[in-house]
Structure 1
């Protein structure tokens, strides 16, 4: 189930997060990731858990959800091969904002905040590229959340 390093390098190189990096930087990153395997239905982390790592899906699917007052739990998205999540934990010390559960047997790579920050210090140019990509990704999610809030406010005015 564990792909060899060349396959991992190719997968990481094709991720939005690492597309702007050269081959050597991506190769260096592969040594900082740890393998993680989860069975279908297994919880990867829960909302409000302490988080300190980013995960990349190599195979399988992961459901991301949040607690909701009325429905109990709301699915935000289902992530697949090549998607990454948990990136906010690389940037802050706050609890996880959602729950992640493996929807199928899932093989992932995980990098801790400590290892990521060490990489950024060692290869500043690559680190800045990754951080800019993270910022763009988080900005897009924030805009999407803003649009949902606007739609909800507009809908609630008609009720």
Structure 2
């Protein structure tokens, strides 16, 4: 687990023995697919580091309507906001596949901040990036049409593999719709047309972007 923690930005500059100390106080837990890890509004006392698997961060209302804020995988973490301001959880977390987490208590995290001020600086940097990303998302929702939001989401999630852009996760049309604030039917029509045009190739657990996506639909 120390190797995973060392790759996380907030712990990357710590010495091996310091990372080992944090890891020794953490609790590892596994959860099956579709497990609710956190409910929006819950009280808080810990942050979670994803050791394996993928999760989604989402908001929902009483009618069951859901908006996905982001998806996260191994080496990423969540829950740090609530343990910093001690406010209720700001979003819900669900596993998208079997997951294993390293759970760090608020007391241990607070102690790490006191002992290692550089962690606080890195947390501030990470929070700044989060604010910028959320601002970008608001801009997209307000100024882009549905096609533009679909195209940007695909490109943002894609990773470069030998010159080819690939989204290495199982992503349903409903997932995309919930990420961009649209309907599954509209997203399905757009994805079908992109596939017909040879722009994308959906696989079982990935989507390959074959060429530059068209500017409009």
State the TM-score, normalized to the length of structure 2: 0.61
Q: Does 1:73 align with 2:66?
A: yes
Tell me the CA shift for residue 15 of structure 1: 1.3
Instruction: Summarize deviations over 1:1-46 as a string: whole Å, max 9, x none.
Output: xxxxxxx111111112211111111111111211121111111011
Tell me the CA shift for residue 151 of structure 1: 4.3
Greater mean alpha carbon deviation, residues 61-70 or residues 47-56? 61-70
Q: Does 1:131 align with 2:120?
A: yes
In structure 1, distance between residues paired with 2:75 and 2:59: 22
Matches within 5 A, 1:71-150: 72-121=65-114, 123=115, 126=116, 128-150=117-139
Task: State the secondary structure of the residue aligned to 1:31.
Answer: helix
Matches within 5 A, 1:25-36: 25-36=18-29
Measured on the aligned residues, the alpha-carbon RMSD in Å equals 2.1
| Cα 1:153/1:101, change in 2 over 3 Å | closer
Unpaired runs of at least 5, structure 2: 145-217
| Cα 1:130/1:84, change in 2 over 3 Å | same
Q: Does 1:37 align with 2:26?
A: no
Unpaired runs of at least 5, structure 1: 1-7
In structure 2, distance between residues paired with 1:41 and 1:34: 21
Tell me the CA shift for residue 147 of structure 1: 2.9
Instruction: Summarize deviations over 1:42-82 as a string: whole Å, max 9, x none.
Output: 11011111122110011111111112589711111211111
Instruction: Summarize deviations over 1:90-134 as a string: whole Å, max 9, x none.
Output: 20111111110111111100111112112333x2xx2x1111111
How many residue pairs align between the two structures? Answer: 145
Contact persistence 1:89–1:113 (CA under 8 A)? no
Larger relative contact order (C-alpha < 8 A, sep ≥ 6)? 1
State the TM-score, normalized to the length of structure 1: 0.82
Greater mean alpha carbon deviation, residues 60-69 or residues 38-47? 60-69
